[in-house]
A and B are shown apart, each in its own frame.
Chain A
Amino acid sequence: MDEILKIKANDLRSKICSGEVKSLNIVKACVTRIKKTDSKIRSFLKLNENKLLEQEATCSDKKIESGKKCGSLEGIPIGIKDNIMMKGESMTSASKYLENYISPYDATVIEKLKKAGAIFIGRTNMDEFAMGGSTETSAYQKTTNPWSLEHIPGGSSGGSAAAVSMGMVPFALGSDTGGSVRQPASFCGIVGYKPSYGLISRYGVCALASSFDQVGTLSKNVKDSALLASIVMGKDYKDPVCEPREQIDCISYIDDNLEVLKSVKVGIPRQLFNYKMDTEISENFNKAVDKFKFLSVKIVEVDIPSYKYIPALYKIIMCAEVSANIATFDGIRYGYRALNAENLDDEYAKSRAESLGYEVKKRILFGTYVLGAKNYYRCYHQAQKVRTLLINQISDAYKKCDFIFSPATLQMPVKFGETLSEECDVFLIAANLAGLPGITVPYNFTNSSMPVGMHFMGSRFSDVKLFQIANAFEKISDFDLNKYPEL
Chain B
Amino acid sequence: MLETIWFILWALLWAVYFVLDGFDLGLGSLLPFLGKNETERRIMYNAAGPFWDGNEVWLISAGGVTFAAFPKAYAVMFSALYAPLLILLFALIFRAVSFEFRNKVDSPVWCTFWDGVHFVSNLIPCILLGVAFANLFMGIPIDAQGVYHGNLLKLLNIYGLAGGVFFLVFFMMHGALWLTIKSEGPLQIRALTMVNILWPVLLGLLIIFLVLTAVYTNLFANYLVSPALFILPLLALAGLVGVKVMLRRGQLWPAWACSAAFIVFVTFFGAAGMFPGMIISSIDPAASVTAFNGASSPLTLKIMLGVALVMVPIVLAYQVWVYRLFSAPVTAADLSDDHAY
- Whether A associates with B in a native complex is no
